[in-house]
Amino acid sequence: MRLRPLGRPVLLLLTGLLFSFAVLHKTPTEQVRDYYASHLRQLHTSLTEFQQRAYQADTTELRRRFAACRTEYKHLEFAVEYYYPHAAQRLNGANLPETEAGEPGEVIPATGFQVLEEYVYDAPTDRATRDLIHQETDNLLYQVRHLEQQLPMLAFSEAELFDALRLNLYRLAAKGLSGFDSPVAHASLPEAAATLQATEQLLALLQAPAPVRTQLARSRAAVLAPGVTFESFDRARFFVRYFNPTLAALQQAQQQLGVPYVGARRAVRPQSVSFFAAAAFEPAFFAPADAAAPTPAVLALGEALFQEPLLSGRSGRSCASCHVPGRAYTDGLRVNRALQPGTELARNTPTLLNAALQPEQFADGRVRFLEDQVHAVVSNKAEMGGQLSQAPALLRKKKGYNQLFARAFAQEPQPVTERNIRRAVAAYVRSLVGLNSRFDQYMRGDTAVLTAQEVLGFNLFVGKAQCGTCHYTPLFNGSVPPLYDKAESEVLGVPATPDPAHPTPDADQGKFGLYGIAHQRQSFKTPTVRNAAQTAPYMHNGVYQTLEQVLDFYNRGGGAGLGLAVPTQTLGADPLNLSDAEQQAIIAFIRALDDRPAAAY
């Protein structure tokens, strides 16, 4: 029997059914990819429309369209930051010139949303500014087209998606809510709401259990609560009541779905429930591949070497001569004396507490690893004046060291070596990590340990006072979240003398001395403010004796605010308008950051 061919209407019906079936049966990761592609297209459209209106729109329309573009980007940020970090930097990096670590002499001009934001919100809307708006939108569209070209090669895995979403929530907490990426518009709260909404939608596509999506909805409602402003938002309460429970629910959802954690080596352990959790940070992330394991024997040797004058040869100085354990590993001096008679060292002695949790060492960031810092300090003629190449022979002759080295490096035929000296001392310094302050206890749920003044101080620190845009939560140093693989340096215009009425410029050129890059003149690495109450004097030159003086300096707008000529200052030159009570609250919060580990007592 001969079958009759199907008619065109039937074929179209079957084709439509098959297409619908295919769409309905897309995997969760395929649906996420569609979500990403859809918002990428919408960002392209929004930017194009914004650019087309650049010359005709009034300020209100420009700001509205700019905000719409930013909202679209917040729906994409989880993936762009994760898979295309270079594009993310060009789209949403700080409005400051950059240099790459591998090419320090090549200056990359600032570009992206933060540059555009300043034109839209802060600059006069004359023809020249409209030209700049049009040009900067071109830069953004170039990056968007690049991302569109990468779409055919983009493939998500569930493990990577959970990892990307978690990192993006860390980014929201440490950078978004501080105002880092909305410095002029102060749109941090609505943008946080967009990030939380996107995370909720993406987890729905990944078929995550309801509790995590409920927590995200609660978090979004909290940042959009009526009457809440950037300055009044209670970030401390938000982190404890909403953010941390959301992260806990995210971890539980991942475990319930059987999605593995990524195997990446990270500053924040991928399996940690939150970056506020105890032991969330991994000091080994900041160590070289051949770092010594922190065994009790290695740490015992490292502590002994830390206090050993033989490392300086005949100079009689040890690491502990300047980094005094009882002074939070500082010396209490403006600057210490140099070995040359009648001279001083150039810079203030920094604390070693939590020094391991940063990807660069020294105030100018000239070395990456603690092992290299040990060598640099010991061999510096002004600091210790020793030669590590000669230290092994001296140590072999001193009672006890042969046994200490043998226990620490039992697998090596000749353990007393220059390399092992560096490794042991570095391992000891790496062990000086606390992260157990009253602030940390508060963030882990014990909300009775901070006073109302200290909580206010934290909210000011990461809000109105803008401290949190450089001293990132929760490390409160310049290691850039959420990967912490880069250390930021800032130009503050720190004066040479403490009198704000008669400031004089400091002669130290900071990072400029390394490569001669103009925008790095007087640039210094952002240190931690943990334990700062124990580490006076302050700043790279020890110019300020009290935290009150430090807060006054920032409140006035840094060196430029004092009237000094600091053309490359990265700190805002406008006064912060902090009242005396607000400054005292910030100082109270800083005092709550004392987190010295047991080894420091």
**Residue 416: burial class (beta carbons within 10 Å; 0-12, 13-18, 19+):** buried
What confidence score (pLDDT) does residue 14 get? 55
**DSSP codes, 292-304:** PP--HHHHHHHHH
Question: Which of 47-51, 94-98, 428-432, 510-514 has the lowest average pLDDT?
Answer: 94-98
CA distance 523 to 365: 10
In contact, 205 and 438? CB cutoff 8 Å: no
Query: What's the whole-model pTM score?
Result: 0.92
Residue in this structure with the two tokens 């009672």, named with its chain if needed: 399
What confidence score (pLDDT) does residue 1 get? 43
DSSP state of 347: S
What confidence score (pLDDT) does residue 297 get? 98
In contact, 318 and 306? CB cutoff 8 Å: yes
Please compute the mean of the pLDDT values over residues 79-97 and round it to a whole number: 95
pLDDT at 132 over 90: yes
**Residue 77: burial class (beta carbons within 10 Å; 0-12, 13-18, 19+):** buried
In contact, 23 and 53? CB cutoff 8 Å: no
pLDDT at 23 over 60: no
Q: 508 Cβ partners below 8 Å, 6+ apart?
A: 346, 347, 522, 540, 541
CA distance 144 to 84: 11
Please compute the mean of the pLDDT values over residues 62-81 and round it to a whole number: 97
In contact, 370 and 430? CB cutoff 8 Å: yes
CA distance 62 to 352: 48
- Contacts of residues 276-281 at CB distance under 8 Å and 24 or more positions apart, as own/partner, are 276/239, 276/244, 276/440, 276/443, 276/444, 276/474, 277/444, 278/435, 278/436, 278/440, 278/444, 280/435, 281/357, 281/433, 281/435, 281/475, 281/484
Task: For 330-346, write each residue's pLDDT tens digit.
Answer: 999 999 999 999 999 99
pLDDT at 597 over 90: no
Residue in this structure with the two tokens 């084709």, named with its chain if needed: 15
**DSSP codes, 362-427:** STT--BSSHHHHHHHHHH-TTTT---TTTHHHHHHTSTTHHHHHHHHTTT-SS---HHHHHHHHHH
Task: For 442-500, write each residue's pLDDT tens digit.
Answer: 999 999 999 999 999 999 999 999 999 999 999 999 999 999 999 999 999 999 999 99
Q: What proportion of the chain, given as a percentage, has pLDDT over 70?
A: 94
CA distance 381 to 564: 33
In contact, 203 and 253? CB cutoff 8 Å: yes
Please compute the mean of the pLDDT values over residues 566-595 and round it to a whole number: 96
Residue in this structure with the two tokens 């959970």, named with its chain if needed: 162
Task: For 52-69, write each residue's pLDDT tens digit.
Answer: 999 999 999 999 999 999
Residue in this structure with the two tokens 């930021």, named with its chain if needed: 488
Q: Of 583 and 110, which is predicted with more confidence?
A: 583
Q: Of 138 and 25, which is predicted with more confidence?
A: 138
Please compute the mean of the pLDDT values over residues 217-226 and round it to a whole number: 97
Band the pLDDT of 599: cuts 50, 70, 90: low
